[in-house]
Structure formats: structure tokens, C-alpha cells
Structure 1
Amino acid sequence: MPTTDKTIDSSKTSILYLLIVVGLIAICDFTFFVSTQQYFLAMLGALACLSLHLLPIYFFRNKIKLYLFLLIPVFIFLPLNLASIILFDVPINDATLVLILNTNPSESVELLKGYIPSLIISFLLYGGILYLLIRRIPTKISGMNAKIIAIASVSVFLLLPFVSFEGGSYFMKLRTRYYSIFPTSVLYAGNAVFKQQRLMNSSKEQRENYVFHAKPETTLVGKQVHLLIIGESSRYDHWALNGYSRNTSPKLSKRESFISFSNAAAGGFITEFAAPLMVTGVGADNFDKHFQQKSIVSLFKEAGFHTYWLSNQVDQGHIKVHIDEADNKYLNLSDSKATRNVHRDMELVGVLKKVLAESSTKKFIVIHTAGSHYDYSVRYPDEFDFFKPSNKTIRSKSADKAFKNVLINSYDNTIRYSDAVIDSIISLVSKQNALASITYMSDHGENLFDDSRDLSQHAYPVPSKYIAHVPFFVWYSPILKNTFPNKINHLMKHVNSKISSENIIHTLPSMSGLTYPLQDSLKNITSPYFVDNEQKILGANDKVYLVETLK
């Protein structure tokens, strides 16, 4: 006799509801690849996701609701991943997780304001629709339907690697295909971040025992002051002194003893990667090695300098391990007056003035600015609202192309403000009557809806050329030029050479009269033996890109 168990519903409609609910998981990858016009990958991604999540149906054929219950974490993460893709063109990856771990509520609000109401409404609608769909799904499905779903899923699962254009063995293609789709992509990213955190902790003793054996290459007397300024989201081509049509650098354009290099590249596409690469010089190919060694801060400390780290950012994780090397730290200006939940970079100049007044005759100072970090309009005061209309008066969403001109006006105002900040720092240091230098390099650039991809900001997994090409400035005092004229001549000779953040740790100490065994003359811009650097940048998921290949 036929079963009367109403918990079993083998109708086509009920099976369709089940497929729709599971199919929702595939919407993330499908949306991302369609938005980037990779339609074949959109189809493959959707099929891979469906096959992966339909495979267990046969084993849960008598407890379908239990299987859906086990998928609750996936359904919770799904709208977050989809929102990241729709709003910022970026699926959740290792860089996203690092940013989440190392940010604060104020930065999050700056990024998401304007989106919050629509996000809340969308999440509520999503939850309601999901609930109604799941109610339509039976507790059990027939063995025959379960077998059909299982056979189809296994077939797709095993056949997809054969239609992949990527190289490698069959099992490598299989692994790549299913590690690159949601939610296994998030698990993969989480595992990568966990491994980095574990490596960071396990390398602590090795890092603490690291020695540069740095020393002065000649006897120097008198006061010595050297600064490394780490900029934020500043791109090369939006500085007037680099040829930009707008007057974004009215002060630095007039500075003497000032060099702007034309072909410098960032080491990483986000701050959490770029800053450690800059201060350690390990290179984008060897990012994990930065855990195992100290930074330029300790190099100067070994040579008898008193060291400082002044920061206007929330420097955690990868960056913090090197901040801790400094003798004195002024982080996020916790003792200063906040400005709309953030601190403006001119406040750093006030702290620097106090540092320069301290008694030590040899100082090395790292200054990490907020620069041009979004929200652009918050980074500068009203008197620097030069290009209008800006987000000071017209509110827009961070990735809304309709307000491109407003966003660019706001961004350019941050450059003008950075120009004033750097110029003020030079003025302070120049009054020290010291053998002194100031080196400025931005951590990475910024996307500003530059082409048909409509990219904004900088967290897109594959860096663009606008992210890689960064401003790199050097100012030197008259005493330094008189002491090391050949070094300055070599700097000027290589103003158009290929340079990356990797060159900082080889160049800045040399310019300061320091030497150490691992200093590479081929990477030292003050050396007669310097050669063009191979410019590489670290993107998401541990992928390294040649800058010259970026679009």
C-alpha cells in the first residue's frame, strides 16, 4: 500500500523549493562573475556550488530539515558576502577578514553609512523569504529523488575540472574549483588568516632574536633626525607635482631639496599587507617572512637611534608586531581631541613637535597617516574643502559612480591636505639644523571609477595599476647633502627608475649613513650599483602580481 506519511513529499514543487534554497548559496559566485563579465566562470561557479551542496542530500534524505539546519552558518554568511560583492565588487577573502579583525567601529560606519538602511531591509526580506521557502520543503524526500539528485551532483562534481582552463593535475583543478566558491572560499580565507596569526605568534622568539648588525659607516657628529612617513590610499597621478592638472600640491611643488620619484610601486593592495612589507623589505613573494624578522625601526635602534612610531590609524595584527619594536609609541592619538570619531593628520605634526623637542640627538620616527582613507571628506578640515562640490555638502555612498565627481573632489582635497601635512613636517625638521631626511611613500593607491570596471577604493582582490602606482618623495637637509653628496646624486639619477617599497629598508639607512651586512647595493637607490627593482604587489588569497601586467 502507498505510504500516507505526509512528511514525505516527492512532488516536483517540493523538490523545486529544495533546489531553490540550496541554489541561493550559489548566488554569490554567480553575481560576482557576472558583474566582472566572466560569464563562463559564473556558470561553472554556480554548478560547482550546487553540486557541492546537493551531494549530502542522499544521506539526509530522511532528515532534510536537519541538513538545512546544519547549513544555517552558510545562510547567515551568504547576505554578508553578497553585500560585499554588490557594494564593493569584492567577495569575502583573506584580506577582508584581516580588515575586519583590524578595523574599529568608526571606520566601519564611515564605509557603510548610506548603505545601512537598505542593508537592514534587504537582510530582513532575505530572512523572510528563506523562512517561507524552507517551510515548503518536506522533512523527507523519496529515495528515488534522492538518488537522482546524488547522481547528478556527483557527475557535475567530477566532470567540472575537465572544463577548466587552468593548468595542473585533475585533482589540483578539482581542489581549486571547490576552494574558489562560496562558502568554502571563506573557510579557505579563514584558514589562511588563522595560519598567519599562528605563524605570527610562533615566530615571536625568532623575531625578538633577529639582529641586523647595523652600524654607522662613518663617524657623524651632531643631531640626526630621519623620518619615514607611511601614506594612506594616495595615488601617484593625483599629485600636481607629478603632473596632475589640479593644484593638489601647492606647497611641496615649491620645496627645494625635494625629490619625487615617478615609478614607485606598492608592495601590497591593503594597508595590513603593504605597511609590513615597506618596513621589513621582505618582498611581496615572501610576505610571511616579515613575522620572522624585525623592521627598519630596530635597524635604526641598533645603530643608536631613539625610535618612535606615531600613528593615526588602528595599527593591529601584521603592523603591530613591528610597532612594538619602537622605544616610544603614540598610537591613534588617544590623548588628543577626536574630530568626528577620527583624527586628522595635522594632529600628528603637533606630536612630532614634542618628539623633536626631546633630548636625544639621534631620532628615527615612523609616522603612519590616515591620508586619503575613505571617508575622504572626514580626513580634512573645512578650510581644505578646495575642490567642490565635495562630500562635505553632498552625501554619497562610497561606491556610487553617480557621484564620481563629488568623490574625486573629496579625494583631491585629501591630497591637498596631505601636501600641507608633509610640508609642515618638513618645516619642523628643517629647523633642527640636523643631518636629516624625510621619506614618504603611500602604502597603496586608490581606485576612483577609472575605467569600465567601475572599481572604487582599494580592496578588490586583483590590484589595479591605480592601486600599485604610488607617490614616493624624499626630502633631505643641507647638512645631509653636504655630508653625502654622492648619495643624493644617485637618488636624483634614479628618479625615473623602477622602485618598490622593498627598496626602503636598503635606501633610507644608507641615506642616513648606516650600513648592515644584508644591505643590498642593487636595491639601494643611493648606491651606484642600483638596478631597476622587479615590481610586485601582493593581492588577496596570497597571490602576487607583476605590476607591469596590471590593468
Structure 2
Amino acid sequence: MKLFKNIKKWIENQEHLFYMFLIILIVPNVVLCFTEPLPLMAKICNVLLPFACYYVLMTLSRNCGKMLWILFLFVFFGAFQIVLLYLFGQSIIAVDMFLNLVTTNSSEALELLDNLIPAVIIVIVLYVPALVLGMISIVKKRRLSLEFIRRERKKAFIVLGISLISLVGAYIQDSRYELKSDLYPVNVCYNVALAIQRNALTQSYHETSKDFSFHAQSTHPENEREVYVMVVGETSRTLNWQLYGYERETNPNLSKQSGLIAFPKVLTESNTTHKSVPMLLSNITACSYDSIYHQKGIITAFKEAGFQTAFFSNQRYNRSFIDFFGMEADTFDFIKEDSVGLTYNPSDDELLKLVEQELAKGANKQFIVLHTYGSHFNYRERYPSESAFFTPDYPADAERKYRDNLINAYDNSIRYTDGFLARLIGLLEKQQVNAAMIYTSDHGEDIFDDSRHLFLHASPVPSYYQLHVPFLVWMSESYRTTYPKHWEGLIKNRNENISSSGSFFPTMLYLGGVETAYRDDLQSVANPLYTMKPRVYLNDHNEPRPLHDLGMKKQDFQMLKQKDINY
């Protein structure tokens, strides 16, 4: 009872709350000192300068609870930052993280949230009591003494002066140091502004792109029936594909498939779905990403060339470019949206039923795009339980101790994708026409692969495991006979270094005989004259950056070297 009274007396003391709120506000900065690869002076500045600013602001009112709630946005950023650090281990809240809030569907978010419970608990324990105490202070109109406010304000300005000296030191020690990128929470505020700007541009897309045209034409004979299918996978990494030397039988069907070429040295230019997929579905690459607000996707190019087009997705709407590009098709269906329930979880095989229906239309020229759910976490929900080949695949929670189970479940999802693609090829073979299919994944995935214990994807700093993706091209026997040089080109280029973001679009157009000024033939893997461009990655500020300028770790470059991938 006495202990309870002492605690109650302590938290009713406004001076104690003043210091407690100040410490809570600065927690993310202290943690970032240990996670971010910055010079010593930058780390000192990154704690002192925000601390001094919070200190000064807290002295602007005699009610410390009122000031905490005025600074609520920074409390929210702090909570978000802690969850991010728990998930990825480093980096401040990126622009893409804010955009993910409006483009990630709720079912995906709920799947992930279940595995962030420790981080959520930390956030609740750290911030909720402080906000409650702050509200009590406001309601009960408690006040700090004028003498206390004056004394603390003097101290705050002294700390501010010292912090400005440390800022000068940070610039002297590293000329690349800049507030908008390196100082929390200035960098987060800058990223919020960028996110708002990009969201506004996205919402204006239909207006800014309405006059765009590829001026595309078909170069293949008009009376020649042909079918082309573009498949965009989800979260599938090369490392777990048998086709690329993985010791497990994750590709029992494709390993025996004739007319199939697998490219082993392919990297994506983004580890986020909302950027990677639009790049795959359009002429946009990391080097031209901001042009996305003015251009249309590959479906429009095929439509202009006289093709009947279709887009079928096993994902929900994301209210962005994936939806925009998909809805350019003559026929489109986001099958998860066919049910109002968030728990509706159809397998990718449901897409094949739509493909069958589309093929049955018998159009002379057909182009079909599929966006699968592939190997997205939770892996166990990507395949029927009776299809579990690698066991045990349960429990497969997002914890390092369950890595073996996670790998089993993940490999089962790859094996299911193998069957899906084999069945799709079977449908195309039945048409007995000139047909081709290309497949790649938007990005890969971390699954507690090394000492960093990273998991999932979309981290602000990518890893090798998130970048290395499978890339397949299949041609029917009829197509190989009609266009032998395209087949020869695939064989010639199979061991070349390739960017999926740069080559997927031109390869599909090249195979389909769709000619446009936007088609870069030197990036088509079916072209014997294919030429590799320098590797780049689309960073959070939509800037193309070489891989060595992203903050990637030595483990990543060791893996790239091991796979003989140019970086």
C-alpha cells in the first residue's frame, strides 16, 4: 500500500513527468545511434539537437501534459520508428513506409501485425502510460512552477548551443551529412512531405496520363494466332528455386519442362511491391521512375497493337499503379475483391480458371497478365495444407527459432508456384499456337538467413535475399519454330546479368512483336544483342543508386559474389 502511494505521489509530481516525457521523446534518437552507420559526431548531434529542441518546447507551457499532446505527432513517429527497427533492424521511417499505409491491403497488414506483438508491447508500455498521464495532467490542470520553467529553459538553451556546435562537427567530419536525410525526426518529416506529394501525383494519374500513347504496332502476321502471358510473382527469391541449384525439389515440374529458360543472375530494382510491379508492367525503371505519373502500362501497348487483353490478380486493390495498369485491359478481375470478407484467400490456381475462360474466347491475338500471391507471408496460407511437401511447416511464426518451419512453408509455396506455372504452360500448349510466357517475382524475402536475423522484405536498406529473383521465359514449340532467333537469343543470354525491372517489359514486347519507340531491344533477353546496363536500385527518394551506395552489408556482397552476380 505504501509502495502504491509512493508511486502515485511520484507520478503526480509535474517535475518528474516533465523529465519523463522528455526522455520518452528522445528514445528513438538514442536507439538510432546504435542502428545507423553514421560518424560519431553525427550520432552525438542526432541526440543532442532533437533533445535540445524538445527541451525548449517542453518549457513553453507550465502544463507538461499539454506539451506532450501538442508533440503527439512525434510520439506517433517514435512508436512507428520502434516497430520499424524491430522489424528491419535499422533505418528511419521511409517514404515507402508511409505509402504502404495506403497501398497495403488490410488482410496483408493483419497477417503481419500478428507477428509484431513484441514491438507493439514495447510501444504500448513506453508511450501509452505517458499519454495517459499527460491527459490526466491536462484534465486536472496541474502546473509547473514559474521558477522551474525559467530554470529549465536556461538549461535547454545551453544544450541547444552545444548541439549546434555538434552539428557543425558533424558536417566537418562527414560532408555528406544532411539534416533532411540523417537527422531524426527531421528526416521523417521530410519523408512525410514526399509521401503526401507522391500520393497527390498518384491521385492525378488519370489526368496526367490520359493523352499518352505508345503508338504501338504489331510486326507479326495479322492472321497468325498468338497468345502471350506475363506472370508477376510475389516474394519469390531465386535462392529457393531448384532450377537455380537449390538442393530441394521445389521445381519438380518446371525442371522437366521443354522450351523453358531460367535466368540465374537477375536482380530487381526495388524490394517493394508498389514500386517493383509497376516497373515490371511498364517502361519505367529506376532511372526513369518519376515518368510513371505520365505513362501507361504494357497492356495499353498490346491493345494498340491489336491484341485482346486481360489482367487477372490474386491481390486486392492497392489504389495505385498496379490497379491503374491492370484496369487498362479489356477484361480485368482482382479475384480477392470478389468477396467482401477479408478472410477470403483463394489460391493462385483460381487465376487459371480465368485464363481458360479468356483463351476460350479464341481471339486471334491475346495478351494476358497475371499477378499472383505467390510466396507472400504467411507462407502456410499460400498453398493447400494437403500440398505440404516439406514438413513440419507449422508453427511458422515470424521468430528465428521457427526458421526451419518457415523455410519448409516457404519452399512449399515455391513448389506450389512451380505447379501453377506448369499448369499454365499446359493450358498454352493445348492451344497449339505461337505462345510465350515470361515470369518473374516483384522481389525476394529475408528469412533469418544470416547473423542479422532479418525477416520479410521492403526494408529501407535492401538485402541480397530481397533483390535476387527468378526470371523465366517459356516458348511453345510452334513459337520456337516460327521465331528461332528469339530462342537462340534466350540461350545466348541465359547467364547474363539482368535487371528484371529493366528487361521484363522490353522482353515481352519483343516476343510479342509489338513495336514501339518505348521498346529498348538491347534490354530484351530474347535479343542476341542484349546489353547489360549498370546495376541500380530505386531508393526511397526515387533516385537510382548503385548497390554499393545503399548501405547494404558485407554479407549481401558476399552472396552476390558467390552467385557470380555483377554489382
Tell me, yes or no, if the aligned pair for 2:490 and 2:528 is still in contact at 8 Å.
Answer: no
Q: How many Å apart are 1:482 and its aligned residue?
A: 1.3
C-alpha distance in structure 1 between counterparts of 2:468 and 2:213, whole Å: 32
Written as runs of structure 1 = structure 2, the 5 A alignment for 1:509-528 is 509-528=509-528
Paired residues in the alignment total 528
CA distance in 2, matches of 1:385, 1:449: 21
2:489 counterpart of 1:490: yes
Q: Distance in 1 between matches of 2:349 and 2:210?
A: 33
Aligned letter for 1:92?
A: I
In structure 2, how many angstroms separate the alpha carbons of the residues matched to 1:475 and 1:413?
Answer: 23
Residue equivalent to 1:296? 298
AA aligned opposite 2:280: M
1:442 aligns with 2:444: no
Q: Is 1:159 equivalent to 2:160 in the alignment?
A: no
1:425 CA displacement: 0.6
Map 1:223-262 to 2 at 5 A.
223-262=225-264
Residue in 1 that maps onto 2:9: none
> CA separation in 2, counterparts of 1:118 and 1:177?
23
How far apart, in 2, do the equivalents of 1:38 and 1:383 lie? Answer: 49
Judged with a 3 Å threshold, the aligned counterparts in structure 2 of structure 1 residues 544 and 448 are, in CA distance, closer, same or farther, namely: farther
Q: Alpha carbons of 1:367 and 1:499: their partners in 2 closer, same or farther (altered >3 Å)?
A: same
| C-alpha distance after superposition, 1:14-72 (max 9, x if no partner) | 656424312312222432442467694654432232123223345x1556444333112
**Partner Cα separation in structure 2 for residue 174 and residue 82 of structure 1:** 20
Partner amino acid for 1:426?
Answer: I
1:246-265 Cα shifts (integer Å, max 9, x gaps): 11110000100000001111
SS in 2 for 1:26: helix
SS where residue 431 of structure 2 aligns?
coil
Distance 1:518 1:84, change over 3 A: closer
Shift of 1:341: 3.1
Q: Which residue, out of 147, 150, 156, partners 1:149?
A: 156
- Matched letter for residue 203 of structure 2: N
Compare 66-75 and 541-550 and name the one that shifted more: 541-550
60-69 or 117-126, which moves further after superposition?
117-126
Matched with 2:475 is 476
Deviation of 1:522 after TM superposition, in Å, equals 2.0
When residues 442 and 15 of structure 1 are mapped into structure 2, their CA distance, relative to the original with a 3 A threshold, is: same
The percent identity for this pair of structures is 29
1:91-118 CA deviation, whole Å, 9 max, x = no partner? 5322122222122222122112254488
CA distance in 1, matches of 2:294, 2:120: 41
SS of alignment partner, residue 437 of structure 2: strand
CA RMSD of aligned residues (A): 2.7
Q: CA deviation at 1:88?
A: 4.1
CA offsets per residue over residues 302-332 of structure 1, 9 Å max, x none? 1001111110112421322212211111113
Q: 2:459 corresponds to which letter in structure 1?
A: Y
Shift in alpha-carbon separation, 1:248–1:101, aligned structure 2, 3 A: same
Q: Does 1:381 align with 2:384?
A: yes
Residue matched to 2:361: 358
Deviation at 1:417, TM superposition (A): 0.6
Q: Which ranges of structure 1 fall in alignment gaps of 5 or more residues?
A: 1-12
Matches within 5 A, 1:72-471: 72-89=72-89, 91-116=92-117, 119=120, 123=124, 126-132=127-133, 135=137, 138=144, 140=146, 141-157=148-164, 159-164=166-171, 165-168=173-176, 173-178=178-183, 181-182=184-185, 184-316=186-318, 317-335=320-338, 340-391=343-394, 394-396=395-397, 398=398, 400-471=399-470
Q: Is the 8 A contact 1:226 1:436 kept in 2?
A: yes
Q: CA deviation at 1:388?
A: 1.3
Q: Residues 125 and 68 from structure 1, CA distance in 2 versus in 1: closer, same or farther, beyond 3 angstroms? A: closer
Deviations 1:270-299 (A, max 9, x none): 100101111113211322211211111111
Contact 1:102–1:314 (CA under 8 A) maintained in structure 2: no
| Cα distance change, pair 421–339 in 1 and its aligned pair in 2 (3 A) | farther
Q: Distance in 2 between matches of 1:62 and 1:121?
A: 29
Contact 1:228-1:438 at 8 Å conserved across structures: yes
Alpha-carbon distance between aligned partners in 1 of 2:458 and 2:237, rounded to the nearest angstrom? 14
Find the aligned partners of 1:98 and 1:235 in 2 and give their Cα distance. Answer: 24
User: Hey, which of these two has a bigger chunk of helix by percent?
Assistant: 2
* CA pair 137-156 structure 1, distance change in 2 beyond 3 A: farther
Distance 1:380 1:161 in 2: 56
Partner of 1:5: none
Q: Residues of 2 paired with 1:282 and 1:118: CA distance?
A: 36
Provide the rounded CA distance (Å) in 2 between the counterparts of 1:496 and 1:208: 39
- What is the CA distance between 1:353 and its match in structure 2? 1.1
Distance 1:408 1:44, change over 3 A: farther
CA distance in 2, matches of 1:342, 1:34: 40
CA shift digits 1:139-171 (9 cap, x unpaired): 643424312212312430453242245435xxx
Q: Offset of 1:439 from its aligned partner?
A: 0.4
8 A contact 2:180–2:187 mirrored in 1: no
Aligned residue type for 1:530: Y
Cα pair 1:340 1:378 within 8 Å, conserved? no
Separation in 2, partners of 1:525, 1:307: 23
Q: CA deviation at 1:465?
A: 1.3
Instruction: Give the deviation of 1:541 after TM superposition.
Output: 3.9
